[in-house]
């Protein structure tokens, strides 16, 4: 595992990323914002920096449960 520099500030990095994203999407329409956040994993600039050792599993949302109940 790579150690981070002593002066690494996670909150500052988070703030910088949020500002970058905000400046990129502030003038977009709703449809453009949805498309912006649904980029393929191979084009995601942040995913390339993450080491994924197992598949990402998402848990179902309440809406999913509601839809399933309505179908039954």
**pLDDT value of residue 55:** 60
Enumerate residues 6+ apart whose C-beta is below 8 A from 32.
Answer: 25
**pLDDT value of residue 36:** 86
DSSP SS3 for 18: helix
User: What confidence tens digit (pLDDT) does each residue in 10-65 have?
Assistant: 899 899 989 999 999 999 999 999 888 887 777 776 666 666 565 656 666 555 55
Banded pLDDT at 66 (limits 50, 70, 90): low
**How many other C-beta atoms lie within 10 A of the C-beta of residue 25?**
13
**pLDDT value of residue 26:** 95
Banded pLDDT at 2 (limits 50, 70, 90): confident
Verdict on whether the full-model pTM lies above 0.85: no
């Amino acid at each position: 595992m790579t150690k981070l520099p002593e002066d690494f500030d996670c909150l500052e990095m988070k703030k910088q990323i949020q500002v970058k994203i905000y400046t990129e999407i502030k003038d977009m329409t709703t449809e453009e914002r949805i498309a912006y956040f649904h980029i393929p994993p191979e084009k995601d600039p942040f995913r390339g920096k993450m080491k994924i050792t197992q598949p990402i599993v998402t848990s179902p949302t309440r809406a999913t449960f509601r839809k399933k109940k309505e179908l039954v």
